[in-house]
Structure 1
Amino acid sequence: MNSRWTPRGTGTTRRQTLTALAALSAAGTAGIAGIAGIAGCSAGRPGTAASVPTGPAQASAPGAAEPFTSAVGDKDALLLQVMAHPDDDLYFMNPDAEQVLRSGVPVVCVYVTAGEARGINHQAGTPIPPADKAAYSASRHQGLRQAYAQMLGLNQFAPWERSVLRLPGGVTAETDTLANGGRGVRLIFLNIAMLSDGGVRLPALWNAPGAVTHTLPATGSPVAHPSSYGHQTLVDVLAEIMDRYRPTLIHTLDPDPDFQVHDALHPRDNDQPGCSDHRDHTPVALFTWKAIAQWVAASTQRDQHAPRFTATAFRGYYNQRWPHNLPPALLAQKARAIKSYGGAPDWDCGNAAGCGDYSQGGVRPLRNRKGWIRSTHYRYPTALPTPTVDAQGRLVAYGVLGTQAVRWRETAPGSGRFGAPLGLGGGPLA
């Protein structure tokens, strides 16, 4: 392909060319970290039967990924984000997601759990309401609709089209869509209960063979009946969503969170035992990467080439312990979306179950000592294509596209133009 960063007839410095190569892919060769589980964290442990990828997720032969025609292939760009809870994207993947949306790229967001917690939607300084898990889930959904409407440049109470999405295993999910001009957002709520019958949580669904969990339909949802999920059901559902919407960029939570000693200096807060992240974040990330591997293997076999996408994992609660990295303008942009998500009990949003996640409304996230809002960190920040020079003096870069190792080569020394990436096989890589 011709380099999209080099106008015809202009000279190109080596530094500019290396910058262009870095932009070719946001993913590197770190490997699908943690797909076999994480020792010491509650989400996964090596050696458990459910932790090991099974089925069609296999490495492909060299050349199986050919021909790639561009960094995004021959279709429109699309961002797919997979989160554990409503608001994970707003806290941990923004402002990246909003910047992608503003550029005109459609966004599909998948929320795996209902986010119901204890079912109490409480604004500080007001009486504590009675618990209602289905209503709290619905109110958080409304908060997301408010946030994404605001990101689209619409009134935050703009009406969405809400319908039922039918998925593998007989499960159903709510899907909400909204568009403004050429930009659009789709929200998909799988709504698996954070605490299901028999005390089953997402870590058990990842780790424990035979574990089954159930969904919690939100109040007012078009989904009328609960669905059941086993380990493979969730993998199949996520892989089907990937195949249906064909993302060119995938955002995931952290599949390999940092180990963390919890003591008086570093309180556990909302962390899982032994690691600095929520106990639901890690298994959702692991399920997502396992689904990516399954989708790529099936798609490559069917289409004779791997799907064309890159993937980026984002740190979660460890933002609390890393230096804040957002400048004031981006922090304000991120805070606006979270303020719309948080809402308030007196907002007239048209949703009887509630108008947001009230504990996250107003300026409370900016005042929270944990500071999650003040940072956005990639799990693998240096995972970019690695350049070198061949015997003819042409720049050659190696990276990852569609979970496959690929190679880009300059068409001529110093030209700044690159041919189509060559699939080298291997994988799945991240």
Structure 2
Amino acid sequence: MSRVSTPSRRSRRRRRSAALIAALVVAAVVLVAVAATVAFSLGRAADVVASATPSAAGTPTPSATPSPSVTPTPTPTPTPTPPPAPAPLSPAAQSCDGRPTLMSVWAHPDDDIIFGNPAISDAISAGDCARTVFLTAGDAGKGRGYTSSRELGILRAYNSMRGVSGLWDTDEIVLDTGMHVTRLTPQNDPRLSVVFVRLPDGNITDGGFASTGHATLSKLLDGTIPTLSPTDDCPDVTLAQLSDSLIELAEAWHPSTVLTHIPRGSAFAPGDHPDHSVTGTLVRDALGSLPAVAPGIRYLVGYPSEKLPRNLDGEQLDAKIETYRVYTQQDEVIRCADRSACLGTRRFGEWLQRSYPKSEAELQMG
């Protein structure tokens, strides 16, 4: 082997050794880096576990989760059923402030003071309410002028009974039935009222008068005619409407007593004015069906009372005659100047000295 090649092999050996050492150093550095990385990662994981898992000494005793208290649901108070709405008041309704009310229904203006007194004047003197209804105008075929005069006489008679001279307010009223009426009430005294329906006068013969077409209450009640035309040009009135209107007035006024004429069929009816008998029948048929009203109905004997004994005298008779006298100053047919003249008027003087109210049981219906 030549000597020239020896140094070359050594040189190569040294270079390989240096390369190996360098590789080992690089590997060591890499291993150290990897180990550091792994250690760091493991440390972080341990920290995470430590923070998530408390030590036994520091583990707090879990407290029981409190159950929310249950507030009992209150039982809802049932909504009370509202009372039924009161029936609408009739346009004719008038308060009486708890005092008794006397309602009376008559055929003609003056029947009340001839046959209804002394009951009406006694009620007024006692402070009670008095509601008076006249079905016919009492026109006697003479027209509106005579009717107006008689109505004025009635108002003055009521002023006499209440002891006050004063004006009256007029109200034109359409009842719930559709019937038109005129109501007058004295100013500052709502206890009293007078209602005029103004149907045609039927005449003592029951044949009516030519000026009103011979229309009568009797024909309406018997169905001979379907309607009656009031003398003041208000709308025609049917029998059902008239009957329902009487009921409406009674329910509006709540009378404790009702006065009217003797009805048809009673033993006291023969010889009476036909308008009287029909009016009594209408009231009996209409108001006799009302339990709160029927017991208080009284039927006054009319024309036939002159055949019964006189049963009024003294102050009671004097007061009745004076009221009648005041009325007659406006009635050209029966005007009387004083007590003596009034008592001397044929038939009227006899009627004035009597008053015969009859209950349902006393009517002697045939």
Q: Establish whether residue 203 from structure 1 lines up as the match of residue 218 from structure 2.
A: yes
1:189 to 179, 188, 196: 196
Give deviations 1:301-325, integer Å, cap 9, x for gaps: xxxxx46861211100012211211
- Indicate conservation of the 8 Å contact 1:83/1:110, yes or no: yes
Q: Deviations over 1:376-425 (max 9, x none)?
A: 11234986xxxxxxxxxxxxxxxxxxxxxxxxxxxxxxxxxxxxxxxxxx
Pair 1:367-2:353 in alignment: no
Question: Can you list the C-alpha shifts for 1:62-116, whole angstroms capped at 9, x where unaligned?
Answer: xxxxxxxxxxxx9431010000000001000101110011001010000000000
What SS is found at the alignment partner of 1:239? helix
Q: Could you tell me which residue of structure 2 aligns to residue 96 of structure 1?
A: 119
Gaps of 5+ in 2: 1-96, 202-207
TM-score by length of 2: 0.64
| Correspondent of 2:150 among 122, 140, 148 | 140
Q: What is residue 24 of structure 1 aligned with on the other side?
A: none
One-letter amino acid of the structure 1 residue matched with residue 345 of structure 2: N
| Equivalent residue, structure 1, for 2:316 | 330
The residue that corresponds to 1:87 in the other structure is 110
**CA offset digits 1:15-41 (Å, max 9, x no partner):** xxxxxxxxxxxxxxxxxxxxxxxxxxx
Question: Following the alignment from structure 2 to structure 1, what is the Cα–Cα distance between the partners of residues 239 and 138?
Answer: 19
For the 8 Å contact 1:165–1:173, the answer to whether it is kept is: yes
Equivalent AA in structure 1 for residue 284 of structure 2: W
Whether the 8 Å contact between 1:143 and 1:357 is mirrored in structure 2 is no
3-state SS of paired residue (1:170): coil
Cα distance in 1 between the residues matched to 2:312 and 2:319: 10
- CA 1:257–1:276 in 2, change beyond 3 Å: closer, same or farther? farther
1-structure distance, mates of 2:353, 2:106: 19
On the 8 A contact 1:277/1:317 being kept in 2, the answer is yes
Q: Percent identity among equivalent residues?
A: 23
- After superposition, residues 104-253 of structure 1 pair within 5 angstroms as 104-119=127-142, 133-155=143-165, 158-178=166-186, 184-194=191-201, 195=208, 197-208=212-223, 210-217=225-232, 225-253=233-261
* Partner SS state of residue 138, structure 2: coil
Residue 328 (structure 1) shift: 2.6
Amino acid at match of 1:367: G
Q: In the alignment, what sits opposite 1:277? A: 272
* Cα distance in 2 for residues equivalent to 1:138 and 1:151: 20
Preserved contact between residue 254 and residue 313 of structure 1 (Cα < 8 Å):
yes
Within 2, Cα distance between the matches of 1:92 and 1:116?
A: 19
Residue 314 (structure 1) aligns with: 300
Aligned 8 A contact 2:179 2:242 in 1: no
Which letter does structure 2 place at the counterpart of 1:211? P
Aligned length: 255
Q: 1:375 to 1:180 in 2, by over 3 A?
A: farther
Structure 1 residue 198: deviation in Å? 4.0
Alignment of 1:346-365 (within 5 A): 355-357=330-332, 359-363=334-338, 364-365=341-342
1:109-142 CA-partner distances (Å, limit 9, x unpaired): 00000000031xxxxxxxxxxxxx1011110000
- Does the 8 Å CA contact 2:99/2:129 hold for their aligned counterparts? no
1:251–1:313: 8 Å Cα contact kept in structure 2? yes
SS at 1:235's partner residue? helix
Whole-angstrom CA distance in 1 between matches of 2:306 and 2:294: 34
- The structure with the larger Rg is 2
One-letter amino acid of the counterpart of residue 239, structure 1: I
Q: CA–CA distance in 1 between the matches of 2:261 and 2:314?
A: 24
SS of the residue 2:145 aligns to:
helix
TM-score, length of structure 1 as denominator length: 0.55
Aligned residues: CA RMSD:
2.6
Higher-RCO chain (CA-CA 8 Å, sequence separation at least 6):
1
CA distance in 1, matches of 2:345, 2:236: 36
- Write the distance in 2 (CA, Å) between the matches of 1:91 and 1:166: 29
Q: Are residues 367 and 257 of structure 1, via their aligned partners in 2, closer, same or farther at CA, if it must alter by over 3 Å?
A: farther
- Cα pair 1:200 1:211 within 8 Å, conserved: no
Deviations 1:216-238 (A, max 9, x none): 12xxxxxxx42211211110111
Structure 1 356/367 Cα, relative in aligned 2: closer, same or farther at 3 Å? Answer: same
